[in-house]
Chains A and B, each alone.
Chain A
Amino acid sequence: MADKREITVTINGQAQTAEVETRTNLADFLRHELELTGTHVGCEHGVCGACTVLVDGAAVRSCLMLAVQADGHEVTSVEGLAAADGTLHPVQEAFWKNHGLQCGFCTPGMVISVAAFLKDNPNPTEADVRSAISGNICRCTGYQGIVAAALEAAETMRQEG
């Protein structure tokens, strides 16, 4: 009964073709069809931000986007953030150093959101960072380590140019 379409999406640099139900959202497609389980689903109504991925470089809630809408687009999930040799992205490295995570469940969405934010805002204030991540809920850390990590990553990324 379910309507299906074939889609081709470039995910973390690799083109993937698959047949999906039209009602499947992008988060479920990544997690259950492609087994990229780093993207987490926390609320399924677009508030918690755990499922945030990059679509054509912009941060998007993958629970609010259908997989078919990603046809022909580029998606970066948390698995695609580190360098090919395994070197952590400066945001990941800063989260590690600043205790920016505890249970790790909100972390992929948080890391992606911060990376996208810093790309456009290389020199943010603490208030800027707090505002930028206000669409990502973390129940463990109280946000302080995350904010510190984002500021440190910004510094690192500015130096690296």
Chain B
Amino acid sequence: MVRYTGAEVQRMEDPRLLTGHGRYVDDIHLPGMLHGAFLRSSHAHARIRSIDTSAALALPGVHAVFTQADLAVPDVAQSMNQLYPAPVIHQDITQHPMATDEVCYVGQTVALVAADSRAIAEDALVLIDVDYEPLPAVVDCRTALADDAPMAHIGSENNMAGQLKSAFGDIDGAFAKADHVFTGSFMQHRGGCHSMETRGVLARDEPYGEGLTIWSSTQCPYLVRRALATHLGEPEDRVRIIAPDVGGGFGPKAGFYPEEIVIPVAARQLGRPLKWIEDRREHFTATTGQRDQQWDLEVACDKDGKMLGLRGVVIHENGAYMPYGALLPFTSVTPLPGSYAIPALDVRLDIAFTNTTPTTPVRGAGRPYGIYAVERMVETIARELQIDPAEVRRRNFVRADQMPYETGAKLRDGMPVRYDSGDYHACQEKALELADYAGFKARQDAARTQGRYLGIGVSACIEDTGVGPYEGTTVKIEPSGKIMVRTGAASQGQGHHTMIAQIVSDQLGVQPEDIMFEAADTGKFPQGVGTIGSRVTANVGPSSFDAAGQVRETVLKLAAETLEAAEQDLELEDGEVRVAGAPDLKVTLGELALKLAPMSGGKIPAGFSPSLEATSYLGSSGSPVASGSNVAEVEVDIGTGEVRVLRYSVAHDCGNMINPMMVDGQIIGGVVHGIGNALFERMIYDEQGQPLTTNYGEYLLPLASEMPHIDIVHQETPSPLNPLGVKGAGEGGTIPAAPAIVAAIENALADFGVVIDYYPVDPQYLTELIDAAGAQAAE
């Protein structure tokens, strides 16, 4: 009997968090704990001549100052391991835990102070004397690959970090037979992480040789364990990583950072627990994010706007190091050509080193770039051929009857990109209806009579979710009758506990409140992957469903023997197994659990194993591909360049939903993140590589007062790739937001012929475009 799966169950996590009883890394106080603060490079590129820590060390309350040379790791000459090696990487340059003789971005770790308090540690930082020899810095990815560009690294011959390509079909043939070829050239800028909780690491070397325990605000505890154990040359089981409550992740907490080596190693050398909590300014410069990509594309289409081929070149701003392989570049081009059936593609992406903070995925990873690029070309076709943009999409969408559909592109592992299910046409119609697209012209005309400029913009996206290879779950019934569920997957607020409790409750006939939940502790669950790429529901959903299903089978088999009844006559409900029609014949889950957990002298029933539990690593057999269409309606003040989002409509398809309320939460939060990308969030560096936006007065995040009400309608096309029919939902809000907003702004300014070639579209940039268009018209 399904009672909870698919229902809007209130979250199990919330009462604790609402009353101030969460436990984030900085909430953990350990006896004898010291506090760390990092000295970070103030130069974008410099040679380090010397570091003098003596004055800092002499400050009362300071216990130690560490530079790279002071860290007792087996091989201090080693830079950090590449987390995701790939043949497309030409120069695999990663940083040292702390800089040795060169710094390559502002914010790079140079030294660590451990002191009685964070305040004293910061007092000591200013007493460290670093003798830098400044070097020329390369900042703009568009010129970083030129012959005369400064080198981002001493000893490099060029700044090309790597190069990759997505190509299929007869691209030359497509362009040869096209009725039209249109070009598009635009820069995209995505901002940083800006989880409200910054990063933090607390480490303790356990006193009786049990290894290291590390609390980290990470999305991927098992990745941190692997990387740290490898660096230390120790078995993974001697390194325990715990992700407690984590205050938002959005991608940048999924990597492995220098601080995650330095703090544990320093704690071990000090013989004291050591905590470091990133401050907000550090977050701007030391936490990875996304920034620039320059796209130059050509699209070939027939006279009706049907796309035949897409080709071009992308330059990707990589930042100074490559901690995270080429995942961000890969996810930028593999989603091409998005929701559309285009027979030929040829897009090359060059990865450019720059002297800026390294880049890694932020909500959506490269997908928002790739989808934006395709959507831009659709808008270009619509504008040039004077066809309604929604109609151009209709003419090009992959059709429902083509599912499963292979685009022709290949994934990182060489497997074909395959859309498992979906109905993009129906999804767009739902969005158009929700937005009253048909009624927009009247609204626009009415506003124009008042001198107001309204615009509407449509976008469509696909999102490959649920990347494997596994994320396991153990379901165990206790003698108390309570259910313990454990998984490796870390939550940063998504509501995993609730989602899993819904699935397990239905399998075992209990209430979600009967589920105890532990996650993201490598000491409690043997192996996991991490929370990235909208993968948890599509992996932990199936594994918890399967593990609970196996336990259910055991429960029914054991109950049948116990009650001397046939299995098919049994009902599992309210925490007990009953014989249908004989209400007195019953046994509780706790009693059954006890039968499989006897003490000395007891006996396990024949055919059963000790402990009423099961573990499953069942995931999705491939990547479930979610989809969506968005419609944004904006008003542009042509005097100030201010853009107000008046209305925002989403039609989204992530297959079957476990908890529609939480799916809505993911979508709305994701859309707002995407609107932030489109209008506000800009990480600015000057020509010397100095970051100019390092607080929330300078770097604008979306606020409640600027955000619209967002309307959502769901289409549920089940995924055939897992037994629940689910797809991921974490990034499908963000991916299509910027293209919808930008298209709406252009639509509002159609009379001026404004074409936007950059986002975020801030008021200054927009007024410049309007003024330029006005000047052109006046000529």
Contact = CB atoms under 8 A, between A and B. Distances in A.
For A35, A48, A88, A103, which residue has the most chain B Cβ atoms within 10 angstroms? Answer: A103
B710 A104 contact: no
Interface residues of B, number: 58
A40 B217 CA distance: 15
B119 interface: yes
A105 B197 contact: yes
Interface string B690-707: 000001110001111111
Interface in A48-96: 48, 50, 77-79, 81-82, 88, 92, 95-96
Contacts of B26: 31, 37, 41
Contact of B19 (A82, A102, A134, A138): A82
Contact of A102 (B494, B673, B710): B494
B11 A96 contact: yes
A140 B13 CA distance: 15
B29 A35 contact: yes
Contact of B672 (A42, A107, A143): A143
Number of contact residues on A: which range applies? Answer: 35 or more
Contacts of A37: 20, 22-24, 26-27
Contact of A134 (B24, B196, B250, B703): B703
Contact of B247 (A23, A82, A104): A104
B526 to A, nearest CB: 26
B60 A21 contact: no
B15 A96 contact: yes
A44 B696 CA distance: 10
For B26, B494, B665, B671, which residue has the most chain A Cβ atoms within 10 angstroms? Answer: B665
Contacts, number: 173
B116 to A, nearest CB: 11
B696 A99 contact: no
Contacts of A21: 119
Contacts of A102: 248, 493-495, 665, 669
Contacts of B495: 102
A96 B196 contact: no
Contacts of A138: 196, 704
Interface in B245-281: 245-248, 250, 279-280
A82 B696 CA distance: 31
A38 B21 contact: yes
A137 interface: yes
Contact of A107 (B18, B195, B250, B696): B18
A129 B13 CA distance: 25
B14 A137 contact: no
A47 B704 contact: no
Nearest to A104: B17
A139 B665 contact: no
A26 interface: no
B493 A103 contact: yes
A77 B27 CA distance: 15
Contacts of B27: 31, 37
A147 B708 CA distance: 11
Contacts of A130: 704-705, 707
Interface string B175-197: 00000000000000000001111
A95 B196 contact: no
Contacts of B22: 37-38, 104-105
Contacts of A88: 15, 18-19
Contacts of B194: 139
A106 interface: yes
B342 to A, nearest CB: 32
Contacts of B197: 40, 42, 103, 105
A136 B60 CA distance: 38
A101 interface: yes
A144 B709 contact: yes
B715 interface: no
Interface in B654-709: 661-662, 664-665, 668-673, 695-697, 701-707, 709
Nearest to B14: A96
A9 interface: no
A149 to B, nearest CB: 10
A82 B24 CA distance: 21
A11 interface: no
Nearest to A141: B669
Given A21-B119, A102-B665, A141-B669, A45 B696 contact: yes
Nearest to A130: B704
Contact of B196 (A44, A48, A77): A48
A134 to B, nearest CB: 4
A23 B117 CA distance: 12
Interface in A136-158: 136-147
For A77, A104, A105, which residue has the most chain B Cβ atoms within 10 angstroms? Answer: A104
A137 B19 contact: no
Given A97-B10, A137-B696, A36 B669 contact: no
Nearest to B674: A142
A104 B673 contact: no
Interface in B520-540: none
Contacts of B246: 103
Interface string A4-36: 000000000000000001011000000110011
B588 interface: no
Nearest to B665: A99
B288 interface: no
A142 B250 CA distance: 14
A136 B702 CA distance: 10
Contacts of A48: 196, 280, 696
A40 B18 CA distance: 12
B492 interface: yes
Contacts of B671: 142
A139 B24 contact: no
Nearest to A35: B29
A39 B18 contact: no
Contacts of B493: 101-105, 140
Contacts of A140: 196, 248, 493, 665, 669
B19 A141 contact: no
Contacts of B19: 38, 78-79, 81-82, 88, 92
Contacts of A108: 20
A109 to B, nearest CB: 9
Contacts of B672: 142-143
A111 interface: yes
A92 B15 CA distance: 8
Given A31-B26, A79-B19, A141 B14 contact: no
A103 B710 contact: no
B215 to A, nearest CB: 14
Interface string B493-513: 111000000000000000000
Given A88-B15, A105-B196, A142 B20 contact: no
24 contacts: A40-B197, A48-B696, A78-B19, A96-B14, A99-B665, A102-B665, A102-B669, A103-B246, A105-B195, A105-B197, A107-B17, A129-B704, A130-B705, A130-B707, A137-B703, A139-B673, A140-B493, A142-B669, A142-B671, A142-B672, A142-B702, A143-B672, A144-B668, A144-B709
Interface of A: 1-2, 21, 23-24, 31-32, 35-45, 47-48, 50, 77-79, 81-82, 88, 92, 95-97, 99, 101-108, 111, 126, 129-131, 133-134, 136-147
8 A-B pairs with least C-beta separation:
A38-B20, A103-B493, A105-B247, A104-B17, A142-B672, A102-B493, A37-B27, A134-B705
Given A45-B695, A105-B493, 19 more contacts: A36-B20, A37-B24, A38-B19, A43-B280, A45-B697, A48-B696, A99-B664, A101-B14, A103-B492, A103-B493, A105-B22, A105-B195, A105-B247, A130-B704, A134-B703, A139-B194, A139-B248, A142-B669, A143-B704
